Structures are given as C-alpha cells and as structure tokens.
Amino acid sequence: MKQLVFFLCCVFLGSCSSQEQNLNFLETALSSQNPKIKRVMDSIANYQVQIRYTQINRRNDSVIFTDYDFQVNDSNYFYPASTAKFPTAVLALERLNTTDTLSMDTKYYVEGDTIESTFKQDVSEIFAVSDNLANNRLVELLGFEDINNTLRKKGITPVRIAHRLGEHSDNLSTKPLIIYLNDSTTGITKSILNKTPLELNLLNITKGSGFYEDDILIKEPFDFRSKNYFPISSQHNLIKRVIFPQSFDISERFNLSEVQREYLLSAMHTVPRKIGYDPKTYYDGYCKFFIYGDTKENIPEHIEIYNKVGFAYGTLTDCAYIKDTEKNIDFFLTATILVNKDGIFNDDVYEYDEIGIPFLAQLGREIYQQELKRK
C-alpha cells in the first residue's frame, strides 16, 4: 500500500512539474495586473498588438523552439520601421563574401555624398543607434530586389523591403558606391534598377483618421500600401537563423564567416556608450525596449540582448534574443504595438514613452521572471 501511495505521489508531482514546465508564459505575462500591461490589455483593440515568444529547450546537441503567439497575423499590417534594417545588415555582410576586393573594413562612400564609412561601421550604427544613413548606404550596395529574393530563398517570408529609411524617395535606382581598393585606387559599383513594388493588399493597410503632409492636415486614413512589410513571423525567423544557424538547413542559413557572425552578434547587443555615444542621449535602453526600455539605468553585464528595434508612425517594434549568462536562461521575444491615440499620423504626437515602451519593457520583465523559475 505504501508503495502504491508513493507511486501515485510521484505521478502527481511529475504531472504538476510537467504542467508548470509547459506553462504559456506569454499568456501569463499578458494577464499581469501591472498597470503597464493592464492598461494596454484592457483596451487591446486600440493598440494592434502582435507578440511571439519562443521558449528554448535543449536536448543533447539539439535546440528545440516552442512558439507562443498573441494576435500574430501576417495579413494584419504594421509598419516595421527600422526593423527592416536588420536583414539589410545581415545580407550586406553576406554580400562581402562574393567579392574578393571587399571586407568589413573596406572604406567607401555613396556617389554624390561626402560621408566616408566602412561596412563594419555601418552595421554597428544600425544596431547601436538605428542610424538611417548607415542603412541606406547598405541598401545602395544590395538593391531592394536582391534583399527580398535572398530572404525568400532562405525561407524568411513574407517580406517586402521597398524603400530607404528617413527619405522616401521614388528613385528606383541605387546610387553607385565609390570603394577604396587601396590608398590610391578606387572602384565604383554599378547602379541597380529595381522594379516598381506592387502595392500591398493587407488588413489595416490604411490607418487612423488623418495625416499631415507638408504641414497640411489631410482628413483621410494614412495609406501604407507602398511601405515596407516585415511581419512578426519573418522577423522572428530571421533572428533565429542568426542566433542558432545550426538549427536550420544549410540553404536557409546566412553565408557568414565566423569572424563576420561574431561581429554581427557583438553589434546586436553592444550598447551605444560602449562605442563612444553620449550615454545621456543614447542610454542603454535607447534601442533595447524589452526589460530596459523604460529606464535609463545601465544594463548589467550578464544580461545580453541581441535585437533590432523600430519606431515610426506611432508603431514600436522589438525583435530580440535575450540571454542571462549568470542564470543560464535564454528566449526569443518579438512584439509590436501602435500608440496613436488621436489617429493622426505625421503629427509627432504618439504615446511612445507613456504607453508603448513601458508595455514592451514590462512584457520583457514578466517573461524573464517566469523564465527564471522554469525548470
């Protein structure tokens, strides 16, 4: 009888342990009574939230991903803003491997411009401070069609990168790059003519009740049909391939050397103050919304956040791999939220600091705390 009771207790405890281990941390996080979460969840229809959290388990040499979603829908459009720089940076590094004369340290400038840079510097600035000009220089190297086609071949779909950032030029041709081959010799790349992108046909592709254009209020919804398209699922698939390339077939990986990959990972988690930016303006959480976005405190050394954020037109997005080297936990988290209470675009009146960033920061903290307790 005692043996039977002991056996039943073991079965019960094992069942409880299994249930605890399989708990949907995302669902629990979103049911938090913390006001930073609750005020969004109580009016969820106003914020167009989409979230994907991936729990990571390891078995022998295998890495196992378990995805949990909240309102993720590839057909439900949100403006990706600077998250579109993420694939540009990765593909630019990959492109360097196809030309013997190019490396990360190659110095170059865009024809007609005066800013000299290197590919290494541009990748760093894209992640540290989300620099638009650095991104656009790499776009001139790649061309939009090559970006989109390469991503699709690697299984990262749907996606449509169709314009530069910070300047929405209708020019479909890339600008030639003047490349320093050595101290006294330069080369020039050919201009690439991109096809006219098809207009997007998605849910919520027009938003709000009005927008400003040349300081004039146009009282009709803002149209995003010609903008970039990079949904949650595609962002998440990209970062998984960067962090855990061995979990994917060779055809789905990026062709990066070990040196390139190490530099990319370093750029993704290095905070601005460590590469010379003023920490008062570019504090650690400036481009790290999850966990630290609503504080100006320094991120502890043992917390590594590899990510890319985007913020524009009232939309905040963060795509991240979060790792605690002391507690030995890690997870993926990608989320987007629209904070535009007045429904007017281009008026620079968005609730980024009041609602959006606090929500994403607390979301990261809620899941992190549950990961700490996970067996």
Residue-wise DSSP of 23-56: --HHHHHHT---HHHHHHHTTGGGTT-EEEEEEE
CA distance 133 to 1: 75
Backbone angles phi, psi at 257, to 5 degrees: -70, 165
pLDDT-derived band at 167, boundaries 50, 70, 90 = confident
Phi, psi of 211 (to 5 degrees): -160, 155
The number of C-alpha atoms within 13 Å of 85 and in the hemisphere containing its C-beta is 30
Q: How many helices (H) and strands (E) does the chain have?
A: 10, 14
What is the arithmetic mean of pLDDT over 131-160?
97
The contacts of residue 137 (CB under 8 Å, 6+ apart) are 108, 110, 117, 122, 177
Residue (of 173, 168, 171) closest to 213 by Cα position = 168
Average pLDDT, the chain: 93
261, 263, 265, 267 alpha-carbon torsion, rounded to 10°: -150
Q: Which amino acid is at 352?
A: Y
Residue 15 has pLDDT above 60, yes or no: no
- Closest by CA to 144, choosing from 127, 159, 134, is 159
How would you list the strands of the sheet with 177-180, edge to edge?
117-118, 107-110, 177-180, 186-188
6, pLDDT greater than 90:
no
Query: Considering the domain 20-373, what is its CATH architecture?
Result: 3-Layer(aba) Sandwich (3.40)
Of the ranges 14-23, 41-50, 175-184, 274-283, which one carries the lowest mean pLDDT score? 14-23
Cβ atoms 210, 220 nearer than 8 A? yes
The conformation of residue 183, written as its DSSP 8-state character, comes to S
Q: What is the full DSSP assignment across 72-134?
A: --TTB----GGGGHHHHHHHHHHHHTT-TT--TT-EEEETT----EEHHHHHHHHHHT--HHH
Mean pLDDT score, 187-209: 94
Could you give the angle at the alpha carbon of 293 between the alpha carbons of 338 and 295, nearest 5°?
135
Closest alpha carbon to 142 in 174, 111, 113, 101: 174
Give the separation between CA 13 and CA 20, rounded to whole angstroms.
10
Give the number of C-alpha atoms closer than 13 A to the C-alpha of residue 19, restricted to the C-beta side. 6
For 285-304, how does the pLDDT look when each residue is reduced to its tens digit (9 = 90+)? 999 999 999 999 999 999 99
Single-letter residue type at 215: D
Query: Which residue would you say has higher pLDDT here, 11 or 29?
Result: 29
Specify the pLDDT at position 13: 42
CB 87 within 8 A of CB 323: no
Q: In this predicted structure, what is the pLDDT of residue 336?
A: 98
pLDDT tens-place string over residues 216-272: 999 999 999 999 999 999 999 999 999 999 999 999 999 999 999 999 999 999 999
Question: Which residues fall within 8 angstroms of residue 85, CB to CB, at 6 or more apart?
Answer: 126, 130, 135, 165, 308, 310
Q: How confident is the model at residue 46 (pLDDT cuts 50, 70, 90)?
A: very high
Instruction: Give percent above pLDDT 70 in the chain.
Output: 93
Listed range (123-132, 166-175, 216-225) with the worst mean pLDDT = 166-175
Residue indicated by tokens 């400038």: 109
Confidence of residue 23 (pLDDT cuts 50, 70, 90): low
Question: Closest Cα to residue 84, out of 126, 145, 143, 137?
Answer: 126
Provide the β-strand partners of residue 86. Answer: none
Mean per-residue pLDDT for 134-145? 96
- Tokens describing residue 87: 């694939």
